[in-house]
Structures are given as structure tokens and as C-alpha cells.
Structure 1
Amino acid sequence: AEGITTPSKEQVPPSQAETPVAVQLPPMSSYVTLGENNSIKMTCDIRASHQRGDQVIVSVVFSNLTDHTIKDLEFNVMDTMNLKLIRSMGSSHHDAIKVPFILLPSAQNEGQFAFNIQEIKVPQKLKGTLTYIVKMDEGSTHEKIDFKLTFPCSSFLVATPCKGSNFTSLLESGDLTEKSSIQFTPQDSEFPVVLAKVCFYHHFRVVEQVEKSASVYSKSMQGHHICLLVKMVNDSIKIDGKSTDGSLLSNVLDEIKTMLV
């Protein structure tokens, strides 16, 4: 298939491939900071629903940074035409969601919020506010923290296993009409680290890998295929991609580059 090919040598499954002792993968977390002030910190992780093509789940960890109890947490965002927070029956689109727990001093807890989404081909942003009460011996204070919730296109991808034969058939089928490529110098000089970050942060699965070249695959929550060939040449990374949607592909490639440089 023109524009992207699989590595030409015999494939070694990642689980059987020898990893050089010198290459140690860095700790990776999909949680990013959503907002922080003197009393509370929020980190979040965004995942596409595996069951529904129109829903994403945002997991938010609320951390109490004080020596006091925090209660009456209410989470709210400004809906857009494309992205809407799923609220309880009878609620209006202006209503906040009551977080179902209190935060004891220096404690943390996690809440999950579901969003309905229509268009996944471009990144999305929502403005939001968390209101809460800090309970102290001398009284209580009402506080709030504003935040921006960013939904990158990669958050709409689902890491999906794909056999080498199926990957090749997909490339040769003619269905992947959209192509895009990027080349850049990454911060990490070790190819296994680069590949691990692409798969972990952007929800891809390795199809096959030969030395410093790997085919990876992912599928969007709405069924778009994305096939990438990731290669390291000298100190540069080149990624050739094919997909059923050009906008989604180019945005995902931009997000990969932003994360790696």
C-alpha cells in the first residue's frame, strides 16, 4: 500500500522481543492536571467508552491540600453543541453535578463524569467550575476553582489489537484514503521509549516491530481506522499514517509530535 508499509523483516511479538537492559521505560500516567489552588487539586483522565460511540468518560481525582474537611463539591461545565455533560434526569444543562463524597484532611477520591459527544475529528475544550465548602473550626468558607477541560483527539481512540495479516489487508483494501506524515526530533533518543509513549498516551497497539521501525494500530470510538508506521532514522522520528478520516489523522499526529518533542 502506498504511503505506509509494515516492517519487512520477520515479526517478533512485543512480549517476546528482547528489551535492552539499558532501556528503562519512564513512569507514565495518563492523568493530567485539571486545576489547582491552595485548597484543592484536580487531575483527570479521559477515555472513550468501549460500549458507546457517542460517549467519553472523564475520571477526576480530587485531592484535599488542606488540614480541613472539604464538602459539598459540585462539578459543572459549560456545554457546547458538540459536547454535553450527562446530568441526572430532570436537570437542566446549567445544573452542576454533586460529587458524592467529602474529602477528609489531606485525602483524595475519584469521581467519574460521562459526556455525550458527536464530532470527534477535532480536539474539544470545555470551561468548567468546581465549587465546594472548606469546613474549619472557626466556620466554613465557600470556594471555587475554574478549569478548562481539554479533549484531545487521541482521547477518542480505543487501543485495539490487530493481527499483522489484518493490518496488511486494511492497508491494501483501499478504504484508508487519507494520508499524513510528520517528522521531528524527539526528546527521547531510545526508540522503545518513543514507541511506548505513542502507545500509552495515544491508545495505539503495536502490530509488529523490527529494530527501530514499528507498525501500530488504533480505532476511534466511531470506527475510524488509524494505521501508523513509526520509524527512527538517526535522531529523527518519522511517522507515516493512513486513515479513513484525514482531519482525525492529522490531529492525532500533531498530538503525538507535541507530546514527544
Structure 2
Amino acid sequence: MAPNYTRKTEYYMFGGNSRPNKAKQLAHARQSITITGLGSKSFDNIVQNCCHMYTMFSRYTPNAKLQPVPEFISKYRDAGNGGAIESPALTASSRFFTPIKQASGFDVVSINPELDPRGILGKVDATKWVHTEDNEVGYYIQTSHADQNRQVDKAPKLNIGDIVEIQASMLSLPSKGTYTVKLILRSIVLLDGHLTSAATTARTLAADTIILPPPRQLKWQNPYSGYVSQRAQTPQINEADVPQYQPEEELEESDWHNMPTE
């Protein structure tokens, strides 16, 4: 069996969790984290030691089929400097589930509800995949006492830029006819999150104050104010033009139309 090395790395975190929604992809869901030292010499030494251990695995792979470049080492570009400064980064991950055929000798444990509050991971086919103690990732918060960590049941809210320490195992695995080496995530310790909180507060205070324009007031106007209303004048009837009717006088047929009404 290939040797299994365990190392501790420390410094800035900018990774997260991967939670696919489709049930057929749940079996391959994993937790992952990527850390970088942002130019720290001690972190650069850790990366060099990981490269040295990576070459040692070539002695245990048949016909030297180990991939020439480790996939857990990458480059992080500082966006604040226009991407001109690059720093080495390490990525460690852990799958949530193990095939039930490969889970012999491991105890089956329940998934931390803080990692799966909606119960999505519970939809996996339990007849083929199980969550064992080897899939667990421990979450810790450093206490005020030096070199002492406190394990927490709830996963700490990790943000990009937090100072963390991770523990990972280096393991060689077959991959498409060749062999690769992965960093298996075992635990995460939140060392200091004050820098991230201070940076968020500084960005909020430094933001320019947005001056909103005065609200437009809707003033009602009479749509008929520009017009002068005129009353229709009733025509006046001149009594002299109306023929008068005298008693005992016979009216002709044409006079009935001109007779005034009382």
C-alpha cells in the first residue's frame, strides 16, 4: 500500500463546499478548501515539501504511471495587483460518501446537519453509498489558550480571507489508467477571522455616500383651467311677435302653431 502522509498547513482560505442538487450527482459531492500563503516563505516551504512527497509516490506506482504534475497544487493571482503577483496554493477535499463495497472496516456515521440543513445529501442511494468516519471533516475554533483548539458541533462560518489551519492526508489513487495523488481533507481550524471582518467594515465605511435626487412631487392640475366656460344664452321671445288670442274668436289652422302655451 502506498504511504499515507499527514501534514498541517496554515494561512488564508478562499474555498468552500460543493453541493450538487441532482440526486445522481450526490454520490460524488465533496467538501473542498483552497489555501494560499500570499508570499509567505513558510507556506512556500510546505508546498515544496508536498512536491517532494509527491515524487516519492512514483516508487509505489506500477511502470511509473504517476501523473507528472500534482493536481492539488495551483497558482493564485492577487486581483488587487492586476493579477501580476502569483502565489502557490493547495487544495484539499473530502467526499461525503464511500461506495458500500469499499466501506468495510469503517463505521457508518450521520452527516452533520449544519453541512446539509435542507437534507439534500439524504437523498443518496443508501444501498450503494454510505457516509463513514473516513468521510468526516472536523471543524475547530482556536481558543484563547495557546496550542489548544476547541471542537465545535456547528461548522464555523468560514469566509474568504480567514486565517485557517487544515489537516490533510496525501493519498495515491488510480485515475483513467494512470495514478494521481490527492490531499484528503481531515479537519479545519479557524484561527483568526477578525481580519476578514475588519476588511468588510472598512469597505463599507469607504464606500461613497449615494446622494439620491429629490423625489418628484405630483401636483394635481385642473385640466379645464385653461378654458373659459360660457353659458348658453336662452333666446328671448318678443311678445309683440306672438299673435294674441281673443275670446270668441275662431282660430284658423295656421294659428294653432303660433299660439303661446301657459
Structure (1 or 2) with the greater helix fraction: 2
Alignment TM-score, normalising by the size of structure 1: 0.20
Structure (1 or 2) with the greater strand fraction: 1
